[in-house]
Chains A and B, each alone.
Chain A
């Protein structure tokens, strides 16, 4: 299973749309695309999980790295559109207490 990464940029905001699985195989590719964006100063980095089917601990590690980088550069990281299985992992690991996660509204999937 692969991961596809699509990005859109407006003035101070980057939107990243992910589709597929985030695991030990796809994590390096994801890190390479996210870290340079996270290093920009004072931006809004929003990551859309709507089409992410699976994430493992190595995948979570990428977002820990991205969070540390955005924090260090005065930027904001926001994750959204998670399925309940993916959301559960962010909750178990307590990462939802340090990363902004936008909840999926009822009726949306």
Chain B
């Protein structure tokens, strides 16, 4: 018998003896502590019944034979609980393994997202990208190989969690492998990405994306959308927000899809807001937030830098939802500076 078992028997004997003699509350309290100890030590129910039986026969050597025999039956009954308990332990270990694997995957996924913000002098860029769970279905990406302009993509992969994250790596590598001249042509970029996605995803899977390229020389923002939540365009001259619509079919449904290209001219101070549906699907109680509320929030903080603005908007939206994100949340702001 192990030292632990021996000590357990001794102290249980004391508790049992005290209880049979005094029926005190204190013994019941100590019995609860024994129960905790048993769980910690992973001692199964039938093991403990046999300890109880052993201690009892030591204390009452004259115990009725029929009572003694009844313990054989009780032990048999407890076996089932013992097996269930073992199974529970195995499942718990397996769950811990899975969780640590997901942690590794989540940190790998983080490396798919840009590690640094673009350091462009002509655009002030702010980004918030927060997953609702460990893994995210939101993706963003930028391309800037020279100082002529900046390309920016925002994407939302259907669903959340692991399947969405796996799909994200495909998008990232597909974008990386597209020839750089396509980065100047949003419609062409989406057409090519769509073919890759359509060939590689399941029947009920799709990805929404908006891609835009800001041309520094002309001050024009060229963009195309594949079923993505519309963004906003803010003009200083009009002091007004407009919806940044880009009609187009989501990626992955039909290989022959063509995408329309749109253009907005940005004057100094004008900005573009790109967002995921996690922003517009914020709920206050049971009510969805209106898009107008989001522009009001942006207006409240737009005197700050792009990064500060998106940070504050994110903080407020999280606060009104009692600090629980239901969906992955991505908000990007690009402001022309010169």
Contacts and interface: CB of A to CB of B under 8 A. Distances in A.
A74 interface: no
Given A24-B159, A93-B250, A94-B250, A69 B203 contact: yes
A94 B249 contact: yes
Contacts of B288: 85
Contact of B158 (A61, A67, A94): A61
B214 interface: no
Contacts of B160: 24
A95 B205 contact: no
Contacts of B226: 94
B32 interface: no
B248 A94 contact: yes
Contacts of A95: 227, 249-250, 253
Interface residues of B, number: 25
Interface centre among B247, B252, B253, B281 (most CB of A within 10 A): B253
A61 B159 contact: yes
A8 interface: no
Given A64-B203, A64-B204, A93 B249 contact: yes
B-side binding surface: helix, strand, loop or mixed?
loop
Contacts of A98: 249, 253-254
A92 B208 CA distance: 10
Given A57-B156, A93-B208, A94-B226, A68 B203 contact: yes
A84 to B, nearest CB: 12
B277 interface: yes
Interface string A35-56: 0000000000000000000001
A97 B249 CA distance: 7
Counting contact residues on chain A (CB < 8 A from B), the size range is: 20 to 34
B247 A64 contact: no
B139 interface: no
A58 interface: yes
Given A31-B204, A60-B158, 14 more contacts: A24-B160, A56-B281, A57-B208, A57-B277, A61-B206, A64-B203, A92-B230, A93-B249, A94-B247, A94-B249, A95-B249, A95-B253, A98-B253, A98-B254
29 contacts: A57-B156, A57-B206, A57-B208, A60-B158, A60-B206, A61-B204, A62-B204, A64-B203, A64-B205, A64-B252, A65-B203, A65-B204, A68-B203, A69-B203, A85-B288, A92-B228, A92-B229, A92-B230, A93-B206, A93-B208, A93-B249, A94-B227, A94-B249, A94-B250, A95-B227, A95-B253, A97-B249, A98-B249, A98-B253
* A-B complex: 8 closest residue pairs judged by Cβ atoms: A65-B204, A94-B249, A93-B227, A61-B204, A65-B203, A94-B227, A57-B158, A93-B250
